[in-house]
C-alpha cells in the first residue's frame, strides 16, 4: 500500500534524505522515497499509517507538510 505526501521546502538530496529517514522511523512504513524536484514523498506501508503521523515526520525533518494524496 502506498501514499504520496505533498511537501514544501525540500531543495536538494540532503533534504530528500532527511525526509526519507524520518518517514522510515514510523512503524509500518517499509520504505520511503522523497523527491525534492517534485515536492513529494512516496511511502510504502505494511498497513495504513495515519496522515497525522506522516505530517509529524515531515515536520520533524524540517519541511512543510501540505497534504497526503
Ligand atoms: Cu537540501
Residue 10: all three cell numbers together:
525540500
User: Ligand 1 center to residue 58 CA distance, Å?
Assistant: 14
Neighbours of ion ligand 1 (CB under 5 A): 11-12, 14-15
Q: Cell 532527511 belongs to which residue?
A: 18
Point out which residues pair with 35 in neighbouring strands: 40
pLDDT for the residue 41:
98
Residue 3: closest CA among 51, 56, 59: 51
User: Ligand 1 center to residue 3 CA distance, Å?
Assistant: 22
- Per-residue pLDDT tens digits for 25-49: 999 999 999 999 999 999 999 999 9
Residue-averaged pLDDT of the chain: 98
pLDDT for the residue 47:
96
Label residue 3 by pLDDT band (50, 70, 90): very high
Question: Which CATH class, in words, describes the domain spanning 2-68?
Answer: alpha beta
User: Ligand 1 center to residue 29 CA distance, Å?
Assistant: 23
Instruction: Locate the domains of the chain by residue range.
Output: 2-68
Amino acid at each position: 500500500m502506498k501514499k504520496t505526501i505533498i511537501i514544501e521546502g525540500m531543495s536538494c538530496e540532503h533534504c530528500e534524505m532527511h525526509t526519507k529517514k524520518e518517514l522510515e522511523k514510523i512503524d509500518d512504513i517499509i520504505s520511503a522515497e522523497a523527491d525534492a524536484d517534485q515536492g513529494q514523498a512516496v511511502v510504502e506501508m505494511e498497513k495504513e499509517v495515519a496522515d497525522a503521523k506522516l505530517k509529524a515526520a515531515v515536520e520533524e525533518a524540517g519541511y512543510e507538510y501540505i497534504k497526503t494524496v
